Amino acid sequence: MQTRILGTDGPQVTPLALGCANMSDHDAPADEADALATIRTALDAGVTLLDTADFYGMGHNEDLIRRALREGDREKAVLSVKFGGLRGPDGAFVGIEGRPAHVKNALAYSLRRLGTDHVDIYRPSRLDPGTPIEDTVGAIAELVQAGYVRHIGLSEVGPETIRRAHAVHPICDVQIEYSLFSRAPETNGILDTCRDLGIGVTAYGVLAHGLLTGTYRQPAGGDPRAHWLPRFHPDHLAANLALADRLRPLAGARGTSVAQLATAWVVTQGRRRGTVVAVLGARRPRRVEEAVAAAGVTLTDDELRAIDAAVPADAVAGTRYAAPLMALLDSERAPNPVRAHTENGL
């Protein structure tokens, strides 16, 4: 796989990254042997970026990555770590934290669990509404100066926050949900802002949490995720699966699966919209192998137009998260017109 740079001076990565959340945080967590093999398969295939968070499995995911890394693997791996998601003993999320003291304390524990002296990208998982982004990024910048962090990233933030953070310290990438079923970054200014500032995009949810795999079947009794992922709700699910089915003839003509076509579509956006890396949420080695093959597919302009016609940007039914979770996303907030006018000198 060809490599690309995240940000102006960020790490060199492949167009495909491995998201490790589902190995620890899932209704049916991955078999540990499968999880270890998946991480190693990704590294052996040339995938360099491993995405994790200190709250995935309350530290389990970082410990898993440490055990998966063999001799020499740490030099290959680009470790991207999110922080700030607070959880209770029952696993429930209880808040978001971005204060400078928490930033430094959280990193100390992550370094110990990962068994390393630095992380390559460190990022708040969500914007803490009680802490200015300048304070959070400023604290990470101090960790960069001290050598504990190489680069700073962001996650699920809008254009205004991206610009404010980038003014404090260069941001290498913004992590955002982006797929054929989640096209908002194309119209809300996030992709444009990242391209203008020379910031990369790491796109997660490329298979729409399973809706774009081409193999998803609704469990008997309904999908338990429907209460927090409205696109799985019975009111929306049938329409969304029918929409995904419209990709089957296009995938067949290309000699790929629906999942591979959807992955290739995200990777191809890096050719059109700046640096875009697809974050694959895999739990088994076979999925890595399929995605690596998809990353090598170059879609033509005609194929991209056919995909857009089959799955229009506004055709998916339901929001990507339930209302309480959507309220936590700075990326979903309308831009502040007063601040935008001021920034533009108006």
Domains of the chain with bracketed CATH: 4-343 (3.20.20.100)
Q: Write the pLDDT tens digit of every residue in 69-84.
A: 999 999 999 999 999 9
The more confidently predicted of residues 295 and 149 is 149
Residue with tokens 């970082």: 62
* Other CB atoms within 10 Å distance of the CB of residue 95: 13
pTM here is 0.92
How big is the chain by its Cα radius of gyration, in Å? 19
Task: Say how far apart CA 285 and CA 53 lie, in whole Å.
Answer: 21
Per-residue pLDDT for 203 more than 60? yes
Q: What is the set of active-site residues?
A: 56
- pLDDT of 340: 38
- pLDDT of 335: 62
Task: Say how far apart CA 9 and CA 151 lie, in whole Å.
Answer: 9
* Other CB atoms within 10 Å distance of the CB of residue 323: 8
* Mean pLDDT for the chain overall: 92
- pLDDT of 27: 56
pLDDT band at residue 267 using 50, 70 and 90 as cut-offs? very high
SS3 assignment for the chain: CCCEECCCCCCEECCEEEECHHHCCCCCCCCHHHHHHHHHHHHHCCCCEEEEECCCCCCHHHHHHHHHCCCCHHHHCEEEEEECEEECCCCCEEEECCCHHHHHHHHHHHHHHHCCCCEEEEEECCCCCCCCHHHHHHHHHHHHHHCCEEEEEEECCCHHHHHHHHHHCCEEEEEEECECCECHHHCCCHHHHHHHHCCEEEEECCCHHHCCCCCCCCCCCCCHHHHCCHHHCHHHHHHHHHHHHCCHHHHHHHCCCHHHHHHHHHHHHHHHCCCEEEEEECCCHHHHHHHHHHHCCCCCHHHHHHHHHHCCCCCCCCCCCCHHHHCCCHHHCCCCHHHHHHHCCC
- pLDDT of 264: 96
Per-residue pLDDT for 342 more than 80? no
pLDDT band at residue 222 using 50, 70 and 90 as cut-offs? confident
Task: Say how far apart CA 102 and CA 121 lie, in whole Å.
Answer: 17
Q: Write the pLDDT tens digit of every residue in 284-304.
A: 999 999 999 999 898 999 999
Per-residue pLDDT for 26 more than 70? no
Per-residue pLDDT for 336 more than 60? no
The more confidently predicted of residues 221 and 37 is 37
Quick one: which of 330, 298, 54 has its CA closest to 190? 330
Phi, psi (degrees; rounded to nearest 5) at 247: -85, -15
Task: Say how far apart CA 25 and CA 19 lie, in whole Å.
Answer: 11
Q: Are 203 and 179 in contact (CB under 8 A)?
A: yes
Per-residue pLDDT for 273 more than 80? no
